[in-house]
Amino acid sequence: MGVIVMISFVIPAFLNRLEILALIYEPLPEFHKNVGTPTFLNDGKISQKPNSRQRDKICGNSCKFDVRNEWLGIRNRCRFWEKFHVDSNFLKECKSFAITKRHILLKKRRSGFLSKTFSFVIPAFLLKIGNLFKITRFTFLFTLILQFSNCLNSPLSHIQDAQNAKVNLAFVSQIGPRSATIFWECSSSLPGSVLYGKGAIESVVTSLKNSNIHSMTLPNLDPNTDYLAYVFCSSDLNKLQRVPLTFKTWTSDFPNRTRGLWVVGGIGADASPVSEIDFFDPVTSTWYPAATSIPTPRAFANIVSHKNKIYVIGGLEKQGINYVASKKTEVYDPYTNQWTTLADIPVANQGGVIASVGEEIFIIAGTTTADMTTGTILNTVSRFAPGIGPTGLWQSYTSLSAIFSRADMSGCGLNGNIFFTGGRFTNDGTSQATSDSYSPSINSTSAAGEPSITIARHGAGSACVKPLNSDPYPTDPEWIAVIGGSTGVSTLQPITSITTTNRTDFFQNGTLAFAIGPILPVSVYYPGVQASYETRKLFVFGGASALNIPTDSVYSIGLQNPIASTWSLDSLKMPRARYSHKVVRIDR
């Protein structure tokens, strides 16, 4: 704008000529009815070139510049005469006279408002636009007058703004699993546009409204997916500045529940099963105490996440002062906060190994009673299909190869197989160290000779660390972690004596043996263990430090290479102390 001001004062004659040319090329879709009445000579036609006196009479009366209606233009009169077949020389004289009159008027108004607001350049541009789009005289003149009233609001200013448009700031907010909202600010009031896609441009949304502030919601996105978006301050996407933004959609409408670590079941400080389920969001270091409660509180239950739901199967219910093995199957949906009771497991099971494989849930080993010597389970596989019927379908069958007859083993599902290790023999309660895996697809255990843990123990916390491509660190290795436990002997559940350990073992998939990890700062029996892929940590929750003494401490270690890492004590304790519980996350 400063450059234009300078030009308007340095070369006013040039600006004069531009405005005169604007008048000459002004569009005239219709002749205005108030132009005036022509003077007829002789037979009603002007058949000869008028002399100066005749010209003054004609153009002075009919072609004179009317200040009150200045934007109608002298050329209108000349065009009027053209309709009456006035000869070309006369028309040329008339137009010349109009230009002269206009030139005089411009000189008189040189110091006026129009000069100061650059009325010379703008009308020429506007009148040219009017000629292109054939807008009516009144509409065009009204628009022209408005532009003179405020140079900054003129179309020329808008074009200049569009050419110089910049994105002052831009950010993504209100991210959900299937949508995201983008806000951005433009340097001028212009339309806004967004190009976006998964790594490449796939879609575009455009606003037809001029504004400095824009907000657009991108619909129909895929959950848990990385997106790239470009924002523009104009609907013209070819030459203007663009600002790139990246974001990742949520897995669900409740990302803290999806990435949260759910602490389920176990025995509390009152020596009774804990009904409350607490969950911890490692990303924000936030506990959500008593997010829900198990309809039937149980300890030593078979707990697993399957299809974004938490299943609590079997375990021990407390009836009076006694513990009784349970057949109950209860499922919790964290997204709807609802519990559902499903079909009972055919045979009660506590202390087994459970895993989600494909569309089904499998349980192996464990015992059918609190006294392991009377509730031995030999080679029996319990398979549950939650999607069949209103309450799911249970089936029990015998494995084609032997499954360890043990309780309180450590284990988890990994790559379609169920890995299990340690535990105690059901016939004498002695701790074990050997390992195996069961493959549901062939209904048989492995013949590969799975590696043993470094010391025999039962009631050790365990987790399979399974990074996904959608995780922040998808190339981190897969691990099986076995933490703590008891090296003692007992045939009862709950046990009557324990010898806690602080041993940690880690097995990296593809290697030949378990490796001893960093010593846990405390010795604990039956803690809960689970991974946070967002924070790249493995967490250990609670466990019993001595017989019937549950703890509420939380420890963590790095996932990338736990063997070379050290344990850290979290400053936030569990909402309630417990042991013989499980910790699950619903997206694994």
- Give the CATH number, domain containing residue 402: 2.120.10.80
pLDDT at position 571: 94
Tokens of 429: 């309660």
The answer to whether residue 11 scores a pLDDT higher than 60 is no
Given this model, what pLDDT does residue 482 score?
A: 99
Shared domain check, 552 and 443 = yes
Same domain, 430 and 360: yes
* Distance in angstroms (rounded) separating the CA atoms of residues 91 and 87: 7
313 and 462: one domain?
A: yes
Whether 122 shows a pLDDT value over 70: the answer reads: no
CB contact at 8 A, 468 and 474 = yes
Q: C-alpha 430: how far from its chain's center? A: 51
The answer to whether residues 105 and 8 belong to one domain is yes
pLDDT of residue 35: 34
Please say which residue of 109, 138, 160 terminates a domain.
Answer: 160
Domain boundary among 226, 248, 270: 248
pLDDT per residue as tens digits for the range 415-473:
999 999 999 999 999 999 999 999 999 999 987 789 999 999 999 999 999 999 889 99
Query: Residue 341 in contact with residue 333, Cβ under 8 Å?
Result: no
| CATH code where residue 192 lies | 2.60.40.10
**For the ranges 103-112, 122-131, 228-237, which has the lowest average pLDDT?**
122-131
In degrees to the nearest 10, what's the CA dihedral of 208, 210, 214, 220?
Answer: 0
Note whether 35 and 108 are same-domain residues: yes
Asked if 232 and 293 sit in the same domain, the reply is no
Query: Could you tell me which of 372, 371, 315 has the C-alpha nearest to residue 345?
Result: 315
What are the tens digits of pLDDT across the range 347-394?
999 999 999 999 999 999 999 999 999 988 989 999 999 999 999 999
Q: Are residues 132 and 280 in the same domain?
A: no
Residues 492 and 366 in one domain: yes
In percent, how much of the chain has pLDDT > 70? Answer: 71
For residue 255 the two structure tokens come to 């990302």
Q: Which of 397, 465, 457, 396 is closest to 430 using CA atoms?
A: 457
Which one, of 410, 527, 520, 538, lies nearest residue 466 by Cα? 538
User: And the tokens for 481?
Assistant: 């972690």
What pLDDT does residue 75 have? 52
370 and 402: one domain? yes
Total domains in the fold of the chain: 3
- How far, in Å, are 111, 258, 326, 388, 559 from residue 586 at the CA level? 77, 6, 23, 21, 19
Contacts of residue 560, defined as CB under 8 A and 6 or more positions apart, other chains included, come to: 473, 476, 477, 536
Place of tokens 């409660």: 293
Nearest to 389 by CA among 328, 339, 340: 340
Average model confidence (pLDDT) across the chain: 80
Same-domain pairing of 240 and 155: no
Assess whether 90 and 236 both reside in one domain: no
- The pLDDT of residue 354: 99
pLDDT tens digits for range 281-332: 999 999 999 999 999 999 999 999 999 999 999 999 999 999 999 999 999 9
Q: Are 159 and 131 in contact (CB under 8 A)?
A: no
Indicate the pLDDT class of residue 164, thresholds 50, 70 and 90: low
pTM above 0.85, yes or no: no
Note whether 334 and 254 are within 8 A (CB). yes
**pLDDT at residue 220 tops 80:** yes
Residue 145 exposed, middle or buried by CB count within 10 Å (0-12, 13-18, 19+): exposed
Looking at the fold, whether 359 and 443 belong to one and the same domain comes out as: yes
Domain span at residue 215 reads 164-248
Amino acid in the structure at residue 409: M
Among 125, 160, 195, the domain-final residue is: 160
Question: Greatest CA span in the chain, whole angstroms?
Answer: 138
